[in-house]
Structure 1
Amino acid sequence: MHQRQDIVIIGGGVIGSSIAYFLKSSDNFTGNVTVIEKDPSYEFGSTGRSWGGIRQQFTTPENIRMSQFAQEFLRDINGYLSVDETAVNVNYNDHGYLFLAKDRQISRLYGNHTLQRGENVDVALLDREDLVRGYPWLNVSDLAGGSLGLSGEGWLDAYSLHQAFRKKALSLGVTYHIAEAADFEIRDNLITAVKLADGSRLNAGVFVNAAGPAAAKTAKWAGIELPVSSRKRYAFSFSCRTPVEGCPLVIDPSGVHFRPEGRQFLAGCSPEPQNDPDCVDFDIDYGWFEEHIWPILAHRVPAFEAIKLESAWAGHYAYNLLDQNAILGPHPDLRNFYFANGFSGHGLQQSPAVGRGISELITYGEYRSLDLSRFSFARIMTGTPILEHNVV
């Protein structure tokens, strides 16, 4: 057990801040925690540019259970993250996710439903007539049905959740060190210090890689190949004159997804793997919206034929090339080096469970609340993917 060790977390986003919070809130952890953050403004961080979605409609039980804990966490967020009795507001909107399916996809949707109901997910299967009754603005001509989350799904203000974790961690004594990590010092198969770009160094007993899209670079300082790449994703905000009432977060069979955002809507779509290169810039390809996303939006919701694009932004996924699932826990050989990487767009909703889980591993040497050992680095070494079919 490492409960008396000092901990250095590389990455001050929502994952790193959640780990820091759960460590310092544990009565059984007595060490110091330092979070190295390169950009305290978070202007270009992954968290602040997230859609803030939380869903339980996954096809991997552990992913479902992590989101279920996120819902539990949000219900008592003030009990967890309030500082000086100041209420925490992350503007959570409890709306379902609606996965739409054509004929060729409906068997998988039914299979997903069976698994999800086995995990106590509050989800309903809808046929075409159900879709017509519930969403009269939806074009169902080429659809066979859908899957709707009835509760326990929605979206929130990602930045507010991140800041709540950070403020609570600070109040518990976590140190946030504004610096750029540059390398590790390693001796006797243990990391002994992290070197900073200004020439200084931080010693500790345990180091956590929570570096988001820069995770592979951080792992490489220890001679470890981590299959996590920075992949750019766009969010396009548009307005529509015609009311589209009761709109959940809709995932079209094409992969285009959209949801309401106040009086406007957000839309996006992940590209095909062959057109999804590593990327670190924030340039926006408006042609992707005009040529690919908008035609699908207009087909699925006829009211979207007449819309006005209001704004757009780009962010980056820490994309796990093996299976788009998290990589969690210590390296098998470099045992004081922990991973919390590769969330592939699901980091925000998984941050409470991951923070708690990594804290337990460091403090007790094992998971105690939710067994996430399936996501260990061992599968990276063997190249054995965890197949998650509901990746958005």
Structure 2
Amino acid sequence: MNGKISKSERNTILNNKAVIYLIKEDYGKAVEILKPLIDLRKSDYEEIDYARIVDNLGYAYFKNNEKEKGYRLLNEALIIRDSLKNDTQLISSFVHLSEFYEDDNLILAKEFAEKALKSAKKTDSPNDKMESLKHLIDLSQPRESKKYFNDYIKINDSMNIINQMSKNQFAKIRYDNNLEIEKNEKLKLEKNLISLIFLGFGIISLLIFFLIRSKNKREKLKIAYTTETRISKRLHDELANDVFNTITFIDTQDLQNPNNKEVILQDLDAIYDKTRNISKQTSEVITGKTFDESLNQLFMSYTSEQVNIMVQGLTSIDWVNVKENKQIEIYRVLNELLVNMKKHSGASLVVIRFESALKNIQIKYSDNGKGFEKEKVFKNGLLNVENRILSIKGKITFDSETNKGVKVNIEFPK
């Protein structure tokens, strides 16, 4: 065998590289990589590989606001894949075309989403089923949307069980492989822990410094002082004891024991999460025309293998015409709800729906967590949520019972 790769292999590698840029939403870079590939002779490809590249380039053009080019290539890829009767590849074409028509032709968008679901059922691919159902939930009427939503939850729950089994198997392999790497573990852990704390304190100190410097009026300085006091209290209450306990554990326990090692790793993860959350909750909120992107980044930061967050209608809101102070308060309120979800409810699924009426904007939050008693609603840190909504002349209602999840309805004037 020689070290050279074939044209087909090279083109596959470049296509995969372009897919990474599509995931990163760098559509211009994806176009730059894929366009030269379709200019080559078709004889350099298998038909199925050529269709994949054409479909990806069409999707990149579409997402890069070159819809005419995008449609032509997406349709070409669909025709090729349909002739090959390849359901796995057809799913991608159907999903991309459904997304293409979402803004202009809801009927066609739904038809393609339904075709994607039908093909996904043939291939029995859980991930493809969930992707198709996501589109159908957004594109369907409430009653039908609820059915698709229930189907999504069933598949998601099954996937969680499979993922947990894989995770447990991986954990066993990791234990077996890490038993030989122990000599300098204790010193490294202490150094990493100290660096992590200094980093957290540094971030918080910088945030406080810029907050105080930028707000020179008396009322704003008072707010900055209140924020500083709250952050300092959180650092003391949430981090100081954890740091001390972890260092004590390191000093007193046998690190050769795999169980002890896992405890330390979990403690470090918890400390890092707390530090990151404090930083995130006090950082500047990017408002204006990209406010929906700020909210998407917030939701993504709480999405994990254990928690799935579904967002509906976010891009339908004209955020440019919503005042900056209202955008900031809505961001803080949603962050508080997600913090409460993560700390208290143990939910695996969160749905956040945005709706725009004539004069008001509505936000409906729900999760499938363990909920809480209505009379104790403000004991989980949600009093601040109500005060923020009242400050923008809005109203908020909580609906929850123990073990029945949480529903929060928010309404405020544009």
TM norm structure 1: 0.26
Which structure dedicates a bigger proportion of its chain to strand? 1
Structure with the greater relative contact order (CA < 8 A, sep ≥ 6): 1 or 2?
Answer: 1
Structure 2-normalised TM-score? Answer: 0.25
